[in-house]
Structure 1
């Protein structure tokens, strides 16, 4: 079949690899693909085994000017404040925090906060965004990428991650050349956090719920530019070939087929800084209750968490906790410097299939394990006193308002309840996770096809 369209697929970092390059979105050969990326040659060679792209182009280097950064941060803070007011949810302000360490950084963000006080209307936010867009067009990066796009002359530019730093200038360059643009919204929680860095002709969203959020927080985007396509990440669970044979899976990690498998899935350091203590609480509860003789505790860390913060806990419970690290390639620390191996898709699918329960702090892993009807328990107590972090804030985040019932998951309200709640979840695993999933995700079986139709 001859390719009907030429599409530039902008993959600014590793986060979009799994969902959009390993899924079925671009595997049919119906489009001529140009991979626009930030990867090294070895990564590109790996991706070429899964995606039939005709051309690959390295994204040019981008130096953000101080005035650009100031405007970008001012817009983000102003939107955060506007969003929080719109939905009367003060927890949204958490996402405007910055880990400023040096005096210079602290002064910079103090100046941003001062300037934000004078942004008193949504019209003013849009005016700032127009200034930022004009400023991007003066950056040498814009001209370099525009020349590259002019040479390729694609029919469409598609972005796999809407918050990447380089993406706005790429989309501005495409727009000025008259090239249509489309983007996905990468994660279920991105929109209230003001994580829409670029402007596109079309926005492909997970569900009608996400489409409504996009219109609520970005009212300038016409409804006809928003298309509900679903997200491909849940299709992997429908493909039986992604489930490793039980003998292989159990032997590889030294698992006991006669024991129940409990997975603790960690988050990144900033999102959930006290995960090691929660893992320790869980291991201790299983040990003291005697459940350690009938269970194994699998630990899957966050792919970008390369720290040694769990080492002491793993050393303390070597016969109970089984580390099962993600199979991601890591060039540095941070989401922009890692990408998954396809074998990690199979590892996670197999883990969700064979495990009996997953435990974490408010993670979408609840949906992953729910694909096989496995329950999730959300941790809902503070294990240490921390003035900058609390579960009392976490579960008030805007995206948790989409949960139709608290029965979607089990809840660990304090460490004394761990053993009893885990026991109940293992014996009576039914939850209302499917109702919540149906709110968040449309087309879970055919998202790749829906996205492909939208792009072609």
Structure 2
């Protein structure tokens, strides 16, 4: 029986690879699956899964600096290579507050300037690898691998610096390493932190991107598998009838609900005002004979209080259904998903009329349920210098994958919002047909079978090793 280590460098892969039927499918194919766990979430205690905990979490103190340098250089190279200023907008500003930050910024900028080329990227990657090989964590992970001897390590995200030393240890022991590219926008944003033997990606589009941006990756190393992210939307065991779901969540069964899917503060710093605009439109429509409400589902990692005033002012129309995520630490990346939230999101999609948000991938969650999506795409009057305009989100590379502007309903003027809401409710406006085409472009042709396809690809790789 072949032994697979499913590696969680952080918690982002939990919902894809612990809470879906991914493990069950792998075991049916005859694999012994052990979760190699670098997170604070205990898969043994919570789910009864075999796990090996990584207790040593120490990356090299210089790794975060060099990782930022690598990302900046990759974006510089892409900007020059493709003659496209969009890559500049992926960069976070440097800090010059205080002597320590000034010295750090000068060091980073010096190395960026000295290495802004394809060869420079390779130099910086080699430097990061050397730093991580020098850590106690590398030796710790290597000892775990030598003891348990997995046949393959499957890394659930390509973007975590916490994974570098562990995967280097595996590669140095000649254990094949697969990295799953976690999100639809990750490749153009220079978020490929790890170097794996193989990469599993969502779609043909993402495969093209990996080969386009990373010249050191060969076509034979990239497998199109889809993503388990959307599989729960097709799992009928998660479905609840309308009356049960509404009763459990204190919703009014006589109302039609519109979902407002909140964003993180970086993506949409004035997001609360879009919620307010929707609430005003709903109130106006209710005065004209509709019976509408709003389900506000916040971004799971948003811990701000910025929506509170709007929610209180419009509590006659806004119902709050928080994602069922749990904080396991003080940092945003220690807010972890739960299995129960898969069912909650499934039913929010199933029992809402449509979704509204700023540029979120929830467009695909709702299209999976044949439901439309409104993207807000207008400036708020509160926008001022130092606050990020949401309009730049729609200029990002991953939005160029849209087959047409009808793949989402864009609200480009707040005065049009009420009319667009009404048109969607009356089935006179929709993005579902083109949204489905976009969904296929981004997530692949078989969104219900991604877990199985991933295991089939692992079959192929292990046969090649023999």
Say whether the fold is shared (TM-score over 0.5). yes
| Shift in alpha-carbon separation, 1:101–1:267, aligned structure 2, 3 A | farther
Please give the alpha-carbon distance, in whole angstroms, between the structure 2 residues aligned to 1:206 and 1:16: 14
Asked if structure 1 preserves the Cα contact closer than 8 Å seen for 2:3 and 2:152, the reply is yes
Asked if structure 2 preserves the Cα contact closer than 8 Å seen for 1:15 and 1:335, the reply is no
Aligned residue in 2 for 1:344: 341
* 1:137-216 superposed matches below 5 A: 137-216=133-212
Please give the alpha-carbon distance, in whole angstroms, between the structure 1 residues aligned to 2:103 and 2:299: 32
User: Cα offset for 1:63?
Assistant: 3.9
Asked if structure 2 preserves the Cα contact closer than 8 Å seen for 1:15 and 1:339, the reply is yes
Aligned residue in 1 for 2:420: 421
Between 413-422 and 380-389, the greater mean CA deviation after superposition:
380-389
Aligned residue in 2 for 1:386: 384
Asked if structure 1 preserves the Cα contact closer than 8 Å seen for 2:367 and 2:435, the reply is yes
Aligned residue in 2 for 1:257: 253
1:223 to 219, 225, 233: 219
Asked if structure 1 preserves the Cα contact closer than 8 Å seen for 2:246 and 2:252, the reply is yes
1:448 to 436, 451, 455: 451
* 1:260-299 superposed matches below 5 A: 260-289=256-285, 290=287, 293-299=290-296
Can you list the C-alpha shifts for 1:298-338, whole angstroms capped at 9, x where unaligned? Answer: 10001111221111111101110000000011123545312
Aligned residue in 2 for 1:124: 120
Aligned residue in 2 for 1:408: 407
Asked if structure 1 preserves the Cα contact closer than 8 Å seen for 2:268 and 2:390, the reply is no
Between 305-314 and 82-91, the greater mean CA deviation after superposition:
82-91
Aligned residue in 2 for 1:79: 74
Can you list the C-alpha shifts for 1:408-431, whole angstroms capped at 9, x where unaligned? Answer: 111111211110111112222532
User: Cα offset for 1:39?
Assistant: 3.5
Asked if structure 2 preserves the Cα contact closer than 8 Å seen for 1:306 and 1:333, the reply is no
Asked if structure 2 preserves the Cα contact closer than 8 Å seen for 1:137 and 1:169, the reply is yes
Between 27-36 and 106-115, the greater mean CA deviation after superposition:
106-115
User: Cα offset for 1:40?
Assistant: 3.8
Report the TM-score, using the length of structure 1 for normalisation.
Answer: 0.94
Report the count of equivalent residues.
448
Please give the alpha-carbon distance, in whole angstroms, between the structure 1 residues aligned to 2:226 and 2:359: 21
- Gapped regions of structure 1 (runs ≥ 5): none
Secondary structure, aligned partner of 2:184: coil
Please give the alpha-carbon distance, in whole angstroms, between the structure 2 residues aligned to 1:314 and 1:436: 32
Please give the alpha-carbon distance, in whole angstroms, between the structure 1 residues aligned to 2:426 and 2:258: 13
Please give the alpha-carbon distance, in whole angstroms, between the structure 2 residues aligned to 1:55 and 1:344: 22
Structural RMSD (CA):
1.8
Asked if structure 2 preserves the Cα contact closer than 8 Å seen for 1:304 and 1:333, the reply is no
| Shift in alpha-carbon separation, 1:64–1:95, aligned structure 2, 3 A | farther
Please give the alpha-carbon distance, in whole angstroms, between the structure 2 residues aligned to 1:323 and 1:41: 26
Please give the alpha-carbon distance, in whole angstroms, between the structure 2 residues aligned to 1:159 and 1:41: 16
Asked if structure 1 preserves the Cα contact closer than 8 Å seen for 2:282 and 2:293, the reply is no
Check if 1:96 corresponds to 2:91.
yes
Secondary structure, aligned partner of 2:119: helix
Asked if structure 2 preserves the Cα contact closer than 8 Å seen for 1:24 and 1:449, the reply is no
